[in-house]
């Protein structure tokens, strides 16, 4: 099988490509604007990488959609601070550029595996979000945070419609706060404040000895999913035994790993302090509260809780998440300790 992964250097892309190369005989064709996370892939004869931007290299992409069996367009901006600061950039990349790829899959009759998002459920009040039943609830237009969710939702609907009217073979998957090695880069640049996802934001603060900031008190909850669990599920979705997964949507999340953002902060701080490389530090990050308006800007609105139902993934794919939250956080933190200079006093 030949798989085209656009955004192969991203958090999901690099882990998926590495696993494919390790465990299957499939070939991976990948494009990305960077290649710093591909150490486990480069050099493998079944890995074909081109450095490039999907909005420029259209011919390369069309040629490879034609050549491959499965197409995974993983290029997207996925950080809430950017939804608020640069909503048009999010729309252009996450919606418009990806729509082109969707249309190429229709043109060449290729199977599309598209990353939807847990964010499409928005402020849905269901205890567990169900792929085929739950309502998708977004805030007012002036709250720019929802442009990502709305862009992804519209693409989900367009893909669904292409399946319905033009027989496009597709599977949509919705990651729920996946975490793990290579999530986001740690940054000390104040310009990039809030520009990574919460786990890496907190780890950055711990490394720098700066305060960990809980937005609006940190009582909002998320279900954190370890990357290896997510990748196990994606591999099975790519395999698609008997074509059973065509036309289906799957939540890929860990309902057992629910925590408030405040709990997350205290857990990460405790794990950081216990780590051997931080043992002699005579400083530690304070945990403070900040207002979302100051942290993200006026156009931000939060999601107070989101728990995935993973019953469908269990029934149709035979997949269940295994890694508990403490283990997931330990492994994630260990990666950042291994790949960054030792924090200094």
**Residue list 225-254, contact with ligand UGA (CB under 6 A):** none
Q: How many amino acids of this chain bind ligand UGA (CB under 6 A)?
A: 22
Closest residue by Cα to residue 240 from 118, 111, 131, 109:
111
- The neighbouring-strand residues paired with 42 are none
Closest residue by Cα to residue 338 from 286, 275, 282, 285:
275
Q: For the chain, what's the residue count?
A: 345
Q: Give 3-state DSSP helix, strand, coil % of the chain, rounded to 5.
A: 45, 15, 40
Q: Measure the CA–CA gap between 198 and 260, rounded to whole angstroms.
A: 11
Q: In the stretch 74-113, what mask flags binding to ligand UGA with x, by CB under 6 A? A: ----x-x---------------------------------
Q: In the stretch 290-329, what mask flags binding to ligand UGA with x, by CB under 6 A? A: ------------xx--------------------------
> Cβ closer to ligand UGA: 117 or 240?
117
- The neighbouring-strand residues paired with 49 are 30
From 135-143, 172-180, 244-252, 273-281, give the range in contact with ligand UGA by CB under 6 A.
172-180
From 53-61, 125-133, 218-226, 308-316, give the range in contact with ligand UGA by CB under 6 A.
218-226
In the complex, minimum distance from the CB of residue 159 to ligand UGA, in angstroms, rounded to a whole number: 17
Q: Which of 37, 64, 169, 197 binds ligand UGA (CB under 6 A)?
A: 197
The sign of the dihedral angle between the CA atoms of 176, 139, 151, 214 is negative
Asked whether 122 and 155 are in contact (CB, 8 A), the reply is: no
User: Does 269 interact with ligand UGA (rule: CB under 6 A)?
Assistant: no
From 65-73, 156-164, 207-215, 307-315, give the range in contact with ligand UGA by CB under 6 A.
207-215
In the complex, minimum distance from the CB of residue 169 to ligand UGA, in angstroms, rounded to a whole number: 24
Q: Measure the CA–CA gap between 9 and 330, rounded to whole angstroms.
A: 23
Helix (H, G, I), strand (E, B) or coil at 30: strand
User: Does 261 interact with ligand UGA (rule: CB under 6 A)?
Assistant: yes
Q: Which of 134, 177, 240, 285 binds ligand UGA (CB under 6 A)?
A: 177
Helix (H, G, I), strand (E, B) or coil at 225: strand
> Cβ closer to ligand UGA: 78 or 113?
78
Q: Measure the CA–CA gap between 23 and 42, rounded to whole angstroms.
A: 16
Enumerate binding residues for ligand UGA (CB under 6 A).
78, 80, 117-119, 148, 175-178, 197-198, 201, 213-215, 218, 220, 222, 261, 302-303
């Amino acid at each position: 099988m030949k798989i085209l992964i656009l955004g192969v250097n991203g958090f999901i892309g690099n882990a998926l490509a590495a696993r494919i190369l390790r465990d299957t005989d499939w070939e991976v064709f990948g494009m990305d604007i960077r290649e710093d996370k591909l150490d486990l892939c480069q050099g493998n004869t079944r890995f074909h990488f081109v450095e490039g931007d999907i909005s420029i290299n259209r011919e390369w992409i069309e040629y490879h959609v034609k050549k491959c069996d499965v197409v995974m367009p993983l290029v997207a901006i996925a950080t809430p601070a950017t939804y608020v600061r640069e909503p048009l950039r999010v729309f252009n990349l996450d919606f418009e550029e990806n729509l082109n790829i969707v249309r190429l899959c229709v043109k060449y009759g290729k199977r599309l595996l598209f990353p939807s998002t847990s964010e499409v459920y928005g402020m849905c009040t269901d205890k567990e979000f169900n792929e085929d039943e739950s309502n998708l609830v977004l805030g007012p237009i002036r709250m720019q945070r929802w442009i990502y969710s709305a862009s992804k939702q519209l693409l989900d609907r367009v893909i669904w419609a292409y399946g319905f009217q033009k027989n496009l073979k597709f599977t949509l998957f919705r990651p729920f706060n996946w975490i793990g090695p290579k999530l986001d880069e740690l940054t000390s640049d104040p310009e990039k404040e809030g520009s990574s996802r919460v786990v890496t934001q907190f780890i950055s603060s711990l490394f720098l000895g700066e305060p960990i900031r809980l937005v609006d008190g940190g009582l909002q909850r998320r279900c954190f999913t370890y990357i290896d669990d997510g990748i196990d599920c994606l591999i099975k979705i790519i395999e698609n035994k008997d074509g059973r997964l065509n036309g289906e949507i799957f939540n890929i999340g860990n309902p057992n790993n629910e925590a408030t953002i405040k709990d997350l902060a205290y857990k990460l701080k405790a794990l950081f302090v216990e780590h051997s490389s931080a043992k002699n530090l005579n400083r530690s990050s304070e945990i403070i509260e900040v207002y979302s308006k100051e942290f993200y800007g006026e156009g931000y609105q939060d999601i107070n809780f989101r728990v995935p139902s993973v019953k469908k993934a269990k029934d149709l794919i035979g997949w269940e998440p295994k890694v508990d939250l403490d283990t997931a956080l330990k492994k994630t933190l260990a990666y950042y300790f291994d790949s960054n200079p030792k924090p200094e006093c």
